[in-house]
Structure 1
C-alpha cells in the first residue's frame, strides 16, 4: 500500500488563483432618485450605474468603484438641487403672498368723498 500525499501551496505549472474583490453596489436607487428629483442628471447616473458590473467582470475593479461612487454622487446632487429649488420656491411664494397682502390693504383704503 502506498500513500499519496497532496502538496499544498505553489505547484509548478498550475495557474495562480486570484481572488476578486466584492462587487460594489450599482447604486441604481440613487439613479432613480436622480430621475425623480432632477432628471438631467439621471442620464449620467444611469450610465454610471450600468457600467459597474461590466467593468468589474473585465477586471477593472477601480473603475467599477469609481462608476458606483459617481452614480451615488449624482443621485445625491440631484436630491440637493431639488431641495434647494423647493426652498427657493417656498420663499418666492411667501414674498408674493406678503406683497399681495400689503397691496390689498392699500386697495381697500377708500377715499372719503365728504
Structure 2
C-alpha cells in the first residue's frame, strides 16, 4: 500500500501508535465459569481467552480482538447448552417425583 492511498475495502487498521486503546475483555472469567455448566465447550473458550491475553501482551490489537470474540462465542454456547441441560434434568426430576408420588399414593389405597 502506498502512502496517501486509502486502505483496500475490508482492511482494518489498529489505532495509531500512542493513541489510547479501549480495553479488550478476554472473557476469561466467563470461560472458567462455563466449565461448571458444559465443559466440552468451555475448554475452547478458555484457550481463546488465553490467546487473547497473550495477544494483548504482545501488542497485537487485532489478534486480541479476534480471540476475545472467539472466547465470547464459545463461552456463550457453553452457557446456553449447560443451562438447557440443567433445565432438562430439572424437568425430568419433577416428572419423576410426580410419577413416584402418584404410584405410591395409589398403591397405599388398595
Q: TM-score range by the shorter chain?
A: 0.5 to 0.7
Give the secondary-structure state (helix, strand or coil) at the position aligned to 2:36: helix
Give the secondary-structure state (helix, strand or coil) at the position aligned to 1:47: helix
Please identify the structure whose Cα radius of gyration is greater.
1
Superposed displacement of residue 22, structure 1: 3.9
Coordinate RMSD, CA, aligned: 2.3
CA contact (8 A) 1:34 1:74 kept: no
Superposed displacement of residue 64, structure 1: 1.6
Q: Any residues of structure 2 matched to 1:29-48 within 5 Å, and which?
A: 29-48=29-48
Give the secondary-structure state (helix, strand or coil) at the position aligned to 1:32: helix
Change (3 A) 1:103 1:53: closer
Give the secondary-structure state (helix, strand or coil) at the position aligned to 1:62: helix
Output the CA distance in 1 between the equivalents of 2:32 and 2:63: 21
- How many residue pairs are counted as aligned between the two chains? 94
Change (3 A) 1:53 1:95: closer
Q: What is the aligned partner in structure 2 of residue 13 from structure 1?
A: none
Change (3 A) 1:57 1:100: closer
TM-score (norm 1): 0.66
Q: What is the aligned partner in structure 1 of residue 17 from structure 2?
A: 18
Superposed displacement of residue 58, structure 1: 5.3
Uncovered stretches (5+) of structure 1, i.e. residues with no partner: 1-16
Change (3 A) 1:57 1:22: farther
Superposed displacement of residue 67, structure 1: 0.7
- Once the two structures are overlaid, the 10-residue window that deviates more, 70-79 or 42-51, is 70-79
Change (3 A) 1:23 1:53: farther
